[in-house]
Amino acid sequence: MSTRVEIPQRVAPAKAAGARGRAWIGGADTLRALGRFVRRKPLGAIGAVIVVVLLVMAVFAERIAPYSYDETIRGARMRAPSAAHWLGTDNLSRDMWSRIVYGARVSITVGFATVGMAVLLATTVGVSSGYFGGAYDLVVQRVVDAWLSFPYLVIVLSVMAVLGPGLFNVVLSLAIIIAAVNSRVIRGATIAIAQGTYVEAARAVGCGHTRIIVRHILPNVAATIIILATIGLGTAILAESALSFLGFGVPPPYPAWGGMLSGSGRTYMFRAPWMAIWPGVAISLAVFGFNMLGDALRDVLDPRLRGSGR
């Protein structure tokens, strides 16, 4: 009588090793992709670094800023930049570095909220108009043309004059303008995709409009939406700064960069030039960072530009 002894096989360590190997390979591929992006798009990489720094400043403002944005420091009125106050102080003895850091939170909040609302509106209008076409497309595009015929600053100032200053009102007024512009671009991309053979095949097998839009149209216009959103962030930040400069933006005491540039910065420009220089530098860097990152993402995500050598 023979006895067969089965030796258990240890499969789990092999599977774990394979998972670790795949994770390492995936991480290496990501690093190589980032390296290629930095080499091919150095300005885009610089823009990405600026964007990351702004996001960190906005999220961790309480830990980065040595003072609160409205804290008055005794005996430190209009001090020049020094080791104690890196960017100096303003006419109310407030630390400029702290106000710049908290101002990044205001600008990032307005920028992302504006672009999020604008992308939602623009995608809804552009995709539906480009997909359905016909009389619906004609009516919608004439409304968009009429809306774009007015200067954007006039529309924004009119909306702000009716609603009054405030964070939500700034976001709403800017989102309406950006959405009208972006909807035209998304509509054009939707028309080109809707004429594809795979969309016709989906219709032939009985797919409904909702399924075609969700499964075929939106994934193919996602790259266009991402590019518009990234570039729109710089536009939204610049527009918010302009509104704050004119007195229609986020009301004080919140430290909006445009308000800092318009108020005490313009009043004491010759006596304390740092009060106007640093908010202007912050606005310029933010717009430059988002624009360069958006331009680089456009070249990477747009298949028509991948082999152009740009």
Mean pLDDT across the stretch 139-163? 83
Encoded tokens for 218? 């939106």
Phi and psi, residue 65, nearest 5°: -75, 130
Given a contact cutoff of 8 angstroms between Cβ atoms, the answer to whether 287 and 48 are in contact is: no
Buried/exposed code over 257-287 (b: 16+ C-beta within 10 A; e: otherwise): bbbbbbbbbeebeeebebbbbbbeebbeebb
Share of the chain above pLDDT 90, in %: 15
Answer yes or no: is 260 within a domain: yes
What is the model's pLDDT at position 20?
56
Answer yes or no: is 79 within a domain: no
What is the model's pLDDT at position 180?
87
Answer yes or no: is 20 within a domain: no
- What are 228-269's pLDDT values in tens digits? 888 888 888 888 888 888 877 777 777 888 888 887 778 888
Of 74, 68, 58, the residue nearest 106 (C-alpha): 58
Answer yes or no: is 3 within a domain: no
The pLDDT of residue 21 is above 70: no
Domain residues for the domain of 238 are 50-58+89-301
pLDDT-based confidence at residue 310 (cuts at 50, 70, 90): very low
Of 190, 171, 194, the residue nearest 182 (C-alpha): 190
Gap between the terminal Cα atoms of the chain:
78
Answer yes or no: is 15 within a domain: no
pLDDT-based confidence at residue 41 (cuts at 50, 70, 90): confident
Average predicted confidence (pLDDT) for the chain: 82
Number of domains in the chain: 1
**DSSP calls for 82-130:** -SSSTT-B-TTS-BHHHHHHHHHHHHHHHHHHHHHHHHHHHHHHHHHHH
Mean pLDDT across the stretch 90-97? 88
Mean pLDDT across the stretch 216-229? 86
pLDDT-based confidence at residue 32 (cuts at 50, 70, 90): confident
pLDDT-based confidence at residue 281 (cuts at 50, 70, 90): very high
The pLDDT of residue 106 is above 50: yes
pLDDT-based confidence at residue 309 (cuts at 50, 70, 90): very low
Of 230, 226, 137, 126, the residue nearest 186 (C-alpha): 126
What is the model's pLDDT at position 24?
52
CATH of the domain at 254: 1.10.3720.10
Answer yes or no: is 170 within a domain: yes
Which comes out higher in pLDDT, residue 95 or 158? 95
What is the model's pLDDT at position 39?
79
pLDDT-based confidence at residue 25 (cuts at 50, 70, 90): low
Which comes out higher in pLDDT, residue 188 or 267? 188
Answer yes or no: is 205 within a domain: yes
The pLDDT of residue 300 is above 90: no
Mean pLDDT across the stretch 276-298? 89
